[in-house]
Structure 1
Amino acid sequence: MTTIHRAPGALASRTTIIEVDHLSKAFSGAHGADISVLDDVSLELREGEIVALLGRSGSGKSTLLRSIAGLIAPTAGEVRYRGRPLEGANPGVAMVFQSFALLPWLTVQANVELGLRAAGVSPAERRERALAAIDMIGLDGFENAYPKELSGGMRQRVGFARALVLRPDALLMDEPFSALDVLTAENLRSELMTLWGSEDFPTKAICIVTHNIEEAVQLADRVVVLGANPGHIKAEIPIRIPRPRDRRSPTFEALVDRLYAALTGRDQAAREATVPTGPLTHPLPAASVGGLAGLVEIVYAHNGQTDLPDLADELSFEVDDLLPLVDAAAMLGFLDLEGAQAFLTDAGRDWYTADILRSKELFASRALASAPLVRTIVKALENSDDGTLKDGFFHDILRRGYSAEETARQLDIAIDWGRYGELFDYDSDDGTFVLGEVAAEAGAYLAQHAEDSDGHPDGEPGDRP
Structure 2
Amino acid sequence: MRFPFPRAARTAPPAAAVFSPADSPDSSDSSGSPGSPGSPGSPADGEILLETVGLTKAYAGADGALPVLSGIDLTVRAGEIVALLGRSGSGKSTLLRCLSGLIPPSSGTVAYRGTPLTGANPGSALVFQTFALLPWLTVRQNVELGLEARGVPPRERAEAAVQAIDLIGLAGFESAYPKELSGGMRQRVGFARALVVEPDVLMMDEPFSALDVLTAENLRGELLELWESGQFPTRAVVLVTHNIEEAVLMADRIVVLGSRPYGTIRETVEVDLDRPRDRDAAAFDELVDRVYRIMTGRPKETRLPGRADGARPDRRTVANTPLPTASVDGLAGLAAMIAHRGGCCDLADLADELGLDIDDMLPQLDALDLLGFAEIHGDDLLLTEAGTAFAGADVQESRTIFAGAAVDVPLVRLITNGLRGRPGTAVHAGFFRDLLAHHYTSEQVDRQLETATDWGRYAGLFGYDAALREYRLDEETP
- TM over 0.5, shorter chain: yes
In structure 2, C-alpha distance between the alignment counterparts of 1:255 and 1:171, rounded to whole Å:
25
Q: CA deviation at 1:404?
A: 2.4
Counterpart of 1:302 in structure 2: which amino acid? R
Q: CA deviation at 1:355?
A: 4.0
What per-residue deviation string (whole Å, max 9, x for no partner) do you get for residues 345-378 of structure 1?
1111122233444332222221122x11011111
Q: Kindly indicate whether the alpha-carbon contact (under 8 Å) linking 1:25 and 1:75 is maintained by their aligned counterparts in 2.
A: yes
Q: Aligned-residue CA RMSD in angstroms?
A: 1.9
- Give the number of the structure whose alpha-carbon radius of gyration is greater: 1
Structure 1 alignment gaps of length 5 or more: 6-11, 442-465
15-24 or 345-354: bigger deviation: 345-354
87-96 or 266-275: bigger deviation: 266-275
In structure 1, C-alpha distance between the alignment counterparts of 2:376 and 2:92, rounded to whole Å:
24
Q: 1:426 aligns with which of 459, 464, 470?
A: 464
Q: 1:78 aligns with which of 102, 106, 109?
A: 109
Q: CA deviation at 1:385?
A: 4.9
4+ residue runs over 3 A deviation: 1-5, 354-358, 385-388, 438-441
Partner residue of 1:460?
Answer: none
In structure 2, C-alpha distance between the alignment counterparts of 1:368 and 1:283, rounded to whole Å:
15
Counterpart of 1:420 in structure 2: which amino acid? Y
Counting only pairs closer than 5 Å after superposition, residues 36-47 of structure 1 correspond to structure 2 as: 36-47=67-78
Instruction: Report the 3-state secondary structure (helix = DSSP H, G, I; strand = E; otherwise coil) of the residue aligned with 1:179.
Output: coil
Counting only pairs closer than 5 Å after superposition, residues 291-370 of structure 1 correspond to structure 2 as: 291-369=330-408
Partner residue of 2:90?
Answer: 59
Q: CA deviation at 1:3?
A: 6.0
Q: Kindly indicate whether the alpha-carbon contact (under 8 Å) linking 1:216 and 1:223 is maintained by their aligned counterparts in 2.
A: yes
Instruction: Report the 3-state secondary structure (helix = DSSP H, G, I; strand = E; otherwise coil) of the residue aligned with 1:384.
Output: coil
Counting only pairs closer than 5 Å after superposition, residues 254-293 of structure 1 correspond to structure 2 as: 254-270=286-302, 273-293=312-332
Structure 2 alignment gaps of length 5 or more: 1-33, 39-43, 304-310
Q: CA deviation at 1:209?
A: 0.3
Q: Kindly indicate whether the alpha-carbon contact (under 8 Å) linking 1:34 and 1:401 is maintained by their aligned counterparts in 2.
A: no
346-355 or 173-182: bigger deviation: 346-355
In structure 2, C-alpha distance between the alignment counterparts of 1:353 and 1:154, rounded to whole Å:
47
The number of residues matched between the two structures is 432
Partner residue of 2:147?
Answer: 116
Q: 1:141 aligns with which of 149, 168, 172?
A: 172
Instruction: Report the 3-state secondary structure (helix = DSSP H, G, I; strand = E; otherwise coil) of the residue aligned with 1:270.
Output: coil
In structure 1, C-alpha distance between the alignment counterparts of 2:226 and 2:278, rounded to whole Å:
18
Counterpart of 2:126 in structure 1: which amino acid? M
Partner residue of 2:201?
Answer: 170
**TM-score, structure 2 normalization:** 0.87
Q: Kindly indicate whether the alpha-carbon contact (under 8 Å) linking 1:247 and 1:253 is maintained by their aligned counterparts in 2.
A: yes
Partner residue of 1:410?
Answer: 448
Aligned in 2, Cα 1:349/1:387: closer, same or farther, shift over 3 Å? farther
Counterpart of 1:270 in structure 2: which amino acid? T
In structure 1, C-alpha distance between the alignment counterparts of 2:111 and 2:242, rounded to whole Å:
26
In structure 2, C-alpha distance between the alignment counterparts of 1:124 and 1:71, rounded to whole Å:
30
Q: 2:54 aligns with which of 6, 17, 22?
A: 22
Instruction: Report the 3-state secondary structure (helix = DSSP H, G, I; strand = E; otherwise coil) of the residue aligned with 1:104.
Output: coil
236-245 or 348-357: bigger deviation: 348-357
In structure 2, C-alpha distance between the alignment counterparts of 1:44 and 1:141, rounded to whole Å:
39
In structure 1, C-alpha distance between the alignment counterparts of 2:425 and 2:335, rounded to whole Å:
33
Partner residue of 2:223?
Answer: 192
In structure 1, C-alpha distance between the alignment counterparts of 2:429 and 2:35, rounded to whole Å:
62
What per-residue deviation string (whole Å, max 9, x for no partner) do you get for residues 172-198 of structure 1?
000000001111100000000011012
Q: CA deviation at 1:277?
A: 2.3
What per-residue deviation string (whole Å, max 9, x for no partner) do you get for residues 100-149 of structure 1?
11111111111111111112222222122111111101111111111111
Instruction: Report the 3-state secondary structure (helix = DSSP H, G, I; strand = E; otherwise coil) of the residue aligned with 2:256.
Output: strand
Partner residue of 1:217?
Answer: 248
Q: Kindly indicate whether the alpha-carbon contact (under 8 Å) linking 2:336 and 2:392 is maintained by their aligned counterparts in 1.
A: no
Instruction: Report the 3-state secondary structure (helix = DSSP H, G, I; strand = E; otherwise coil) of the residue aligned with 2:453.
Output: helix
In structure 1, C-alpha distance between the alignment counterparts of 2:253 and 2:271, rounded to whole Å:
6
Partner residue of 1:455?
Answer: none
**TM-score, structure 1 normalization:** 0.89
Instruction: Report the 3-state secondary structure (helix = DSSP H, G, I; strand = E; otherwise coil) of the residue aligned with 1:268.
Output: coil
Q: CA deviation at 1:34?
A: 2.6
Counterpart of 2:272 in structure 1: which amino acid? R
